[in-house]
Structure 1
Amino acid sequence: MIPAAAGSLRLIELAGGPPLIPENTRMTASPVPVVVHIVSAIPYAVLGAFQFSPRFRRRWPAWHRAAGRVLVVLGFATAFSALWMTQFYARQPGTGELAYIFRLAFGSGMAASIILGFAAIRRADVTRHRAWMTRAYALALGAGTQVFTQGIGNAVFGVSELTTDLMLGAGWALNLIAAESILRSGSSGTGRTTGEARLS
């Protein structure tokens, strides 16, 4: 909800509304990639949450398949717009080379996870499909976790370029650790389910 709220306020500003959050001249000068990122990331986060409910999948399998197709498109738009901003926006003030590397690595990791998840369901491999889509979703939610890692990191270690970079990376890393823990515990229902139709 935190990045969704911030993204919505940024869209209002870019649409000509009042500045409700601190101005970002990089985004106002070139709004297309950030608009693509926000309008794809918010529905990806909201709609994607329902894909992980075993009861929801069993009760509405057709919805799961249809939503999955939409989420693949939204996920790619989210990941590639993030990479677009990383490559072509001026570096965010207060961040360094390490943040740039993290953004490239985790943005590419999200895109790769979606590709691998899609390829797995085309082979009717439900276990790997859910595992890769769980990782992609965890990476997409990194911005929400970074609100807490940066706040705690700045409070404990002080504000510096290195601290900011490391706390950005920690947000993505913690989400991946949580995802892997869920997958290993089996609580995400990652076992192969007979009768679940493959995406086609």
Structure 2
Amino acid sequence: MTDESTTGCPPFPQSPRSGRLTGEQNKAGTFATASIVKAGWLVPAALIMLSTVPLVAGAVRLAELTGGATITPENARFFAAPLPVTLHIASAVLYSILGAFQFAPGFRRRRPGWHRAAGRLLIPCGLAAALTGLWMTLFYPRPEGDGDLLAGFRLVFGTAMALSIVLGLAAIRRRRIARHRAWMIRGYAIGQGAGTQVLTHLPWVLIFGAPGEFTRALLMAAGWVINLAVAEWIIRKRPARPTRASA
């Protein structure tokens, strides 16, 4: 006998004779599964939403270049050299959207082949976005409101993005998974700076109006810094994993 009098433990609840879950248990399991799925896609959905304004702005810019829009002092530099900005927008769109799906852990586990295939596309797209951004900072005429400080910030963070991606690639080639993950998260965080910069500018514009040159540079830098701070929190939040993949 294994009742409470002999084991000191309460007897286990008996399951239905059919051996099947009750309706309440089925509902609870379904709800828990749905919650997990929703939680797994919450971060990718938020990242895509963060990219919405920059992606729309990029699409409008491409439409201007391909649709024969009127040349103005604000867009003349793009018409004079359209290839860098076109490559920058196209690579940034792919990098932002594909990169968001790398933050869905369940999707990565179910489709590891997709994760690797997407990574092979993300690396050249990320490097193209970073390098064309650096080229435009150095060689395009500066628009009104962009000064030396903002140009310096763009050079620093653009270089940091490219370096992060290169270090992430080097890490995965040596099978250092945790290091690869950390550097790729940092590179993606910098690449998403344009979305966060919309959020740093919006309150200032609503309260104080258009920012001046110095304030604009600081608000732009705040977008990159906020993203990097969140990236470092994510990197350190998750439990440590082996630095090398198993054979």
Hey, what does 1:12 align to over in structure 2?
A: 63
Check if 1:58 corresponds to 2:103: no
Question: Deviation of residue 23 (structure 1)?
Answer: 4.9
Question: Deviation of residue 156 (structure 1)?
Answer: 5.0
Check if 1:118 corresponds to 2:169: yes
Distance 2:83 2:223 in 1: 25
Q: Trace 1:59-98 onto structure 2 (pairs within 5 A).
A: 59-98=110-149
Give unpaired runs (5+ residues) of structure 2. Answer: 1-51
Contact 2:176-2:244 at 8 Å conserved across structures: no
Distance 1:37 1:161 in 2: 24
SS of equivalent residue, structure 2 residue 67: coil
Which one-letter code corresponds to 2:241 in the other structure? G
Hey, what does 1:167 align to over in structure 2?
A: 219
Contact 1:130-1:190 at 8 Å conserved across structures: no
Distance 1:128 1:108 in 2: 19
Distance 2:192 2:142 in 1: 21
Distance 2:113 2:246 in 1: 10
Contact 1:82-1:107 at 8 Å conserved across structures: yes
Contact 2:177-2:245 at 8 Å conserved across structures: no
Aligned pair in 2 of structure 1 residues 14, 59: CA closer, same or farther (>3 Å)?
Answer: same
Hey, what does 1:185 align to over in structure 2?
A: 237
Question: Deviation of residue 57 (structure 1)?
Answer: 1.6
Hey, what does 2:85 align to over in structure 1?
A: 34
Question: Deviation of residue 114 (structure 1)?
Answer: 0.3
Which one-letter code corresponds to 2:97 in the other structure? V
Which one-letter code corresponds to 1:191 in the other structure? R
Scaled by the length of structure 2, the TM-score of the pair is 0.73
RMSD: 2.1
Q: Alpha-carbon deviations, 1:81-104, whole Å to 9, x = none?
A: 100100100112112111011000
Q: State, as a whole percentage, how many aligned pairs show the same letter.
A: 53
Which one-letter code corresponds to 2:189 in the other structure? A
Distance 1:113 1:171 in 2: 17
Q: Trace 1:137-176 onto structure 2 (pairs within 5 A).
A: 137-156=188-207, 159-176=211-228
Q: Alpha-carbon deviations, 1:118-164, whole Å to 9, x = none?
A: 11111111101111000000000101111121222344565211001
Distance 1:35 1:98 in 2: 25
Which entry has the higher C-alpha Rg, 1 or 2?
Answer: 2
Paired positions, count: 193
Which one-letter code corresponds to 1:179 in the other structure? A
Scaled by the length of structure 1, the TM-score of the pair is 0.89
Bigger relative CO (Cα 8 Å, ≥ 6 apart) = 1
Contact 1:154-1:164 at 8 Å conserved across structures: no
Which one-letter code corresponds to 1:124 in the other structure? R
Contact 2:87-2:132 at 8 Å conserved across structures: yes
